[in-house]
Amino acid sequence: MSDVPALRGAYSPETAPDALSGFTIGVTATRRREEFGALLERRGARVVSAPAIRLVPLAEDADLLAATRESLAGPLDDVVVTTGVGFRGWMAAAEGWGLSADLGEHLSRSRLLTRGPKARGAVRAAGLNDHWTPPTESCEEVKQYLLAQDLRGRRIAVQQHGEPLRDFVADLRRAGAEVIEIPVYRWLPYRDISPLRRLISQTISGSVDAVAFTSAPAVHAMLGTARADGLEEALLTAFGERVVAACVGPVTAEPLTSRDVPTLQPERSRLGALARALARHLPEHGVTRLTAAGRRLEIRGHAVVVDGELRPLPPAPMAVLKRLADKPGHVVSRADLRTVLPGTVARESAEHAVEMAITRLRRALGAAGIVETVVKRGYRLACVYEAGL
Cα-only R_g, the chain: 26
Starting at the earlier edge strand, list the strands of the sheet with 178-182: 111-114, 78-81, 155-159, 178-182
Is the pTM higher than 0.75?
A: no
Same domain for 325 and 303, yes or no, is yes
Proportion of the chain above pLDDT 90, given as a percent: 61
Burial label for 168, CB within 10 Å (0-12, 13-18, 19+), is buried
**Mean per-residue pLDDT, 63-71:** 93
* 4 belongs to a structural domain: no
**Residue 8 domain-assigned (yes or no):** no
CATH number of residue 344's parent domain:
1.10.10.10
- pLDDT tens-digit readout, 151-179: 999 999 999 876 678 899 999 999 999 99
Percent of the chain with pLDDT over 70: 91
> 263 and 301: one domain?
no
State how far the Cα of 71 lies from the Cα of 65, in Å rounded to an integer: 10
Q: Which of 247, 344, 317, 259 is nearest to 52 (CA)?
A: 247
What is the identity of the amino acid at 212? A
User: What integer pLDDT is reported at residue 149 of this predicted model?
Assistant: 96
**Which residues neighbour 119 within 8 Å (Cβ) at sequence distance 6 or greater?**
81, 82, 83, 84, 86, 87, 133
Task: Render pLDDT for 23-43 as a digit per residue (tens, 0 to 9).
Answer: 999 999 887 788 999 999 999
Pair (32, 84) in one structural domain: no
- For residues 108 and 201, membership in a common domain is answered with no
pLDDT of residue 284: 87
**Has residue 2 been placed in a domain?**
no
Let me know how long the chain is.
389
Q: How many CA atoms lie within 13 A of 306 on its CB side?
A: 23
Whether residues 296 and 177 fall in one domain: no
Question: Identity (one letter) of the amino acid at 15?
Answer: T
pLDDT band at 344 (very low <50, low <70, confident <90, very high): low
Residues 146 and 66 in one domain: yes
Same domain membership, residue 371 and residue 351: yes
Statement to judge: residues 181 and 144 lie in one domain: yes
The reply to whether 10 falls in a domain is no
Q: Please tell me whether residues 102 and 221 are part of one structural domain.
A: no
- Which residue among 237, 262, 285 closes a domain? 285
Helices and strands, number each (H, E), in the chain: 15, 16
Q: Does residue 217 sit within a domain? A: yes
> Does 321 share its domain with 229?
no
In a domain, 388, yes or no: no
Tell me whether residue 103 is in a domain.
yes
The pLDDT of residue 371: 94
Domain boundary among the residues 265, 285, 305 is at 285
Which whole-number Å values give the CA distances from 151 to 1, 113, 144, 183, 230, in the listed order? 72, 15, 12, 22, 44
Q: Domain of 116?
A: 56-187
* Phi/psi at 345 (5° precision): -110, 125
Q: Are 225 and 243 in contact (CB under 8 A)?
A: no
CATH number of the domain where residue 113 is located = 3.40.50.10090
Same domain, yes or no: 101 and 204: no
- Total number of domains in the chain: 3
Q: Tell me what the pLDDT averaged over the chain comes to.
A: 88
Q: What's 162's DSSP letter?
A: B
DSSP-derived secondary structure for 138-149: -HHHHHHHHHTS
Examine the domain organization and report whether 334 and 246 are in the same domain.
no
**Last residue in a domain, options 262, 285, 308:** 285
Measured distance CA(357)–CA(235) in Å, rounded = 27
Say if CB 322 and CB 34 are below 8 A apart. no
In a domain, 278, yes or no: yes
The pLDDT tens digits for 73-111 are: 999 999 999 988 889 889 988 888 889 999 999 999 999
